[in-house]
Each structure stands twice: as C-alpha cells, then as structure tokens.
Structure 1
C-alpha cells in the first residue's frame, strides 16, 4: 500500500497491546486494515463515520467521537447540521484515514447507512439480530433464516454477516429513494411477522429487561445517523473477531468468533467478497 508523504511519521505507539490475552498490538490492527482496505473501501467511501476510541485497547475505557473539527490533510470531513450545531464527520475515503483512526485508538469502523449525496436515503435495509441471554447465536441463526425465507417470498435479495459479537446482520440493498422512516417500518413489519410465528424466540421489546432469552430484532437501527459495524470491521472483543460476510448456506455452521484478524484475509483470498453483488443492487421495497 502506498501512503501519502509524511503520513507514517504521524503513527505512534505501534507496539501498544490492544488485546492482552492474544498479544495483538495497535500495529497488528493497522496491518489487518491495510490488507483488507481493497475490500472494505466501497463500504466506507463517502459515508460519515462515528469514531469509537479505545486508547488503552479492549480492556480500557472507550469513548465516542463524532466531531473532527481540525483533521489532518488526508482526512476528508462532512459538516452535518445536528439540531443546533454542526458536526464535522470524518469519512474514510482513503487508507490513510482508516489507519489514522486506528492510531487514535479506533478498533471498529462505524459508517452511516447512507452516503454524503443521499444522507436522508439509506443504501440498504438492516436487520440487526441480537440474542439476549440465555438465547444464543443458534437462536439468531433460526430467526435470520426465517427472515431470509420471507425476503425470498418478497423477491428481495439479502446478504448476511456475522456481527463479530453475538449476533447477525442482514443487509437488503435498495434504491436510494426510501427514507429512513420507511426502511425502519419495513423491518418492524417483517419483525412482527417473525415474532408472531416465534413468540418464544423473537422480540422487538424496547425494554432490555423484557428481552431475556429472545432474539431482539432492532428496527431502530434504521434511523438517520445510526451506525453499524462495517463489513470486515474488527470488534473490540477477545480474539479480535471480525464482522464477516457469510453465505446463507454456511450460516448455520457459523459461530460469532469464527473469523479474526488472523484468519479473515485468508478467507477472502478463498471466497472473495461475498457482499460484492450488494454494491450494485438497487431493489424496490414492496408494500407489506
């Protein structure tokens, strides 16, 4: 990878341990993101990102940063009005910005669901499935497969990825003509069908205390300004798991920590980018 002149001199503390048990360092994380840049690039370009900084690694405190008022030369920002102030969101349009974010302590990459040219119109619908203990990943798989069946009935192509944490994300690429209120309502309606079919397995209950033992279908993830861990984003968890696209056929055999910064690049060499068709797919949302 060719980086801009003077950029490397800005990188600090590359030997800092980010994952104590595994010994992975900040430099290891930079190495992973440098290698995955060609694949992750189209899912980040032109999208505002929220920075989640772990300056002491996964066992330390973390904090959120949206506003980047004085970025270095290689970081492009996008001013967005938020109530009574302007937030200058970073956009990861080049590899230098991605590595810069890691240098700040960012482990995950959290882009918006919409791009700078269509901020009010998302590129895809997201089904965010989160199993709440004692529910487990296999419960989320069951719900995901049921959602997939409904989407097939509606003639909608969908793309699953393991979140890298405990759950599953399903992407449905759409035309850039639907507002977030419409996409959120679409997920809510599909969720209601699932909940009616599997009342003991699924929920959209807002109160966390009432989700126990069920898979939470989060339609509120589809709101302007919300972010989700990007495809190929590392997660700040033991083992350095990666949010990884999988096929519907292999999903039942997956587990949350199946792919990591150690194994992901080898996987992509073998299977390529399973989300690639999503990038050019513009589907119409049917009425439910």
Structure 2
C-alpha cells in the first residue's frame, strides 16, 4: 500500500505515494478526512487506500478501456454527476481515447491504466467507476457480453441466484463461458469474454437472444419486459446494459450505498447462500489476500457470439423483433414505439 506524508494540517491536503508500472507517483489528496460514507465514517483517504490495495484486479477488470466516473463532491447522500471527458489539469498518466456515442458524436473519454490514475479519480471525488465493455484499442467492438440480473420489488439477491445459474447454462449452450459478480446492491452481473468481432448492436442482440431463452425456461421467475408495469416480482434481465455507452459498476468498484458495498467478482460455487452485503470497502482487501481474484484471467479465453446470433435470427423469423432502447437513444431500426403499454393507443400501435 502506498505511503503518505502530512504537510501543513491547515491546508488539509496529503500526498500519497502510489506504486505502479512506471515507478512511484506522488498523488495529492485534498480533504482526506472528509467522510464519504456517513454511517460508517469511511473517509476519502480510506477510499484512496482501498483503491491502492485492490488496484491490480481493479485494473485487470476496468483498465485500458473507456470509463465514466460517478463523482460525489460531498458524501454519498449528496448530489452526484458523471464525468466522461478528461477535465482541465488531468495529469499525463491519466489517458484518454476518442469514442463514438449513440448520437454519432465523438469525444475523448477517460482511460485508467495504472494505480495512480485510480487515486487521481478519487481525488476528483469519484466513488463509482463505470467501465465500457470494449477496450481502448477498439472501442466499437466489445470484449465482454454483459447481462444485468435486476431484482424487482418483492425480490432480492437470493431470487437472482437461481436465475444466474440457469443463465450460465443457457450461455454455455450458446458457446460462452460465464463469469459472475455481485452488483454491490441486490443484483447479479454475468459477464462472458468474447472476441471483439462484433459491434455493440450485435452484442445487444446476442444478449436478447440469451435472455429470451432464459425467460422461456423460467417464465415465472425472470422477464425481459422493459416496462416496469409488466415485470411483476420477477428478475428483470436487463438487455440494455449491452448498449454502447451504457455501463454498470465495474468489478471492485464501490457503490454509493450506506454500507459501502463493492461490486465483487465471486466463484460460481460461492453464489448459493452468499450475502453480498459482506463485500465492502473495508472487507475486500482481506478477501483478495485470502482467496484471490475469482476473475483473474477473465479475458484469456474469449468465446464467439455466433450461436446466440443464430438464436436471434431464429426468433426474428418467429416474429420476435427488436426490444425498446433506453430513452436517451435515438430512434433505432425496428424498435417498437417508446410508450408504456398502459398508455399505448391501439389505433396507432401497429
């Protein structure tokens, strides 16, 4: 873990010595004693020290790719905003890559490649890190197929576990090996490493195909219904997390929740009976030291989405078309009207 030295206490600023691939870097940390998680008393300095402790597996999962920073100028209970572009004064060890957004606009986005860059992000009041599914070298083609199992009201993590196991089997039948992590809240994130040969829309269609297959097998337990009024108390298979510039909290990223939980990679054999609340900013360094990183080597054996795309085409032939996109997206080809079913006008629906 990096060291620190204390200057004039009136300035309330310390300097952390952060080891990295290019040697040690000195990273300034202002307001180190500012409490970020009021219920636990976790400070900005403690978060920075957490980042240094987990920087290896954190960068393996989230580094070398576009990342959005969710920044909280005060505490987790205060206002927050997303930061994608390098702000003025960004140090040279924090990289950037030009990405294309759904609007067609292109703009540089932050890329973290070493521990000092994570600490700099925390100095900029970042709590939650949201990495893209593609790498900086080819931002248009994802290296991960991602599925978010999102419990609806009346369900929780324990209800998502059977869905995750069943989804793993579906994905295996589709030629993919799945890895799993807690969301840091009530949900479960399932990732499959894939060859970067298809752009985001294709990967979204592969996700929808897998989600529909899971829904067929567990119709009372999971749903692909985008509109909340149609989901009931089932687990929502969030296919829209596969879209370009749609991200979820990265592996080992803290969450802005009162208990300082962390989105944590786990082994499949850990899921049953797991308490995701046990994985926090304060507990994860010890977990890594004792059990290691369950996601080590995640990208070493990528699969292909060809079979899932065949399922997508099969479903199209059977009359199952495109599903709704997020409201901030431009109108997409084949997309149904963006109106919740209870408000649709039947005369105009076709």
- The residue correspondences of 1:30-69 to structure 2 (distance < 5 A) are 30-69=48-87
Whether contact under 8 Å (1:15, 1:25) holds in the other structure is: yes
* Count of residue pairs the alignment pairs up: 287
| 8 Å CA contact retained: 2:175, 2:303 | no
Moved more, 29-38 or 260-269: 260-269
Residue in 2 aligned with 1:168?
188
1:238 to 2:267 alignment: no
* Aligned equivalent of 1:187: 207
Deviation at 1:226, TM superposition (A): 1.8
Determine the C-alpha separation between the residues in 2 that align with 1:258 and 1:77: 34
- Per-residue Cα deviation, 1:107-146 (whole angstroms, up to 9, x for no partner): 1111110011111110111111010111111111111111
> 1-side partners of 2:174 and 2:124: how far apart?
43
1:203 partnered with 2:223: yes
Task: Tell me the CA shift for residue 246 of structure 1.
Answer: 1.0
What is the rounded CA distance, in whole Å, between the counterparts of 2:251 and 2:117 in structure 1? 17
Go from structure 1 to structure 2 and tell me whether the alpha carbon gap of 1:148 and 1:6 turns closer, same or farther (over 3 Å shift).
closer
C-alpha separation in 1, matches of 2:218 and 2:238: 16
Greater shift in the superposed pair: 18-27 or 274-283:
274-283
What displacement does 1:69 show? 4.4
Runs (4+) off by over 6 Å: none
User: Are residues 1:249 and 2:282 paired?
Assistant: no
| Partner residue in 1 for 2:284 | 264
Which one is further off, 147-156 or 123-132? 147-156
Q: Which moved more, 1:208-217 or 1:44-53?
A: 208-217
Q: 1:135–1:212: 8 Å Cα contact kept in structure 2?
A: no
* Unaligned residue ranges in structure 1 (runs of 5+): none
- Give the one of 213, 217, 229 matched to 2:237: 217
RMSD over aligned CA atoms reads 1.8
Aligned partners of 1:112 and 1:226 also within 8 Å? yes
- 2:327 is matched with which residue? none
- Give the secondary-structure state (helix, strand or coil) at the position aligned to 1:38: helix
Q: Which residue of 2 aligns with 1:80?
A: 99
Deviation of 1:96 (Å)? 1.6
Q: Which moved further from structure 2: 67-76 or 120-129?
A: 67-76
After superposition, where does 1:16-165 map in structure 2 within 5 Å? Answer: 16-70=34-88, 71-82=90-101, 83=103, 85-165=105-185
Unaligned runs of 5+ in 2: 3-16, 312-350
Higher relative contact order (CA 8 A, sep 6+): 1
Given that 2:66 and 2:110 are in contact with CA atoms closer than 8 Å, whether structure 1 keeps it comes out as yes
Residues 85/196 of structure 1: CA separation in 2 closer, same or farther (3 Å cut): closer
Q: Deviations over 1:262-285 (max 9, x none)?
A: 111111112211111312111122
Inter-partner Cα distance in structure 2 for 1:193 and 1:11: 49
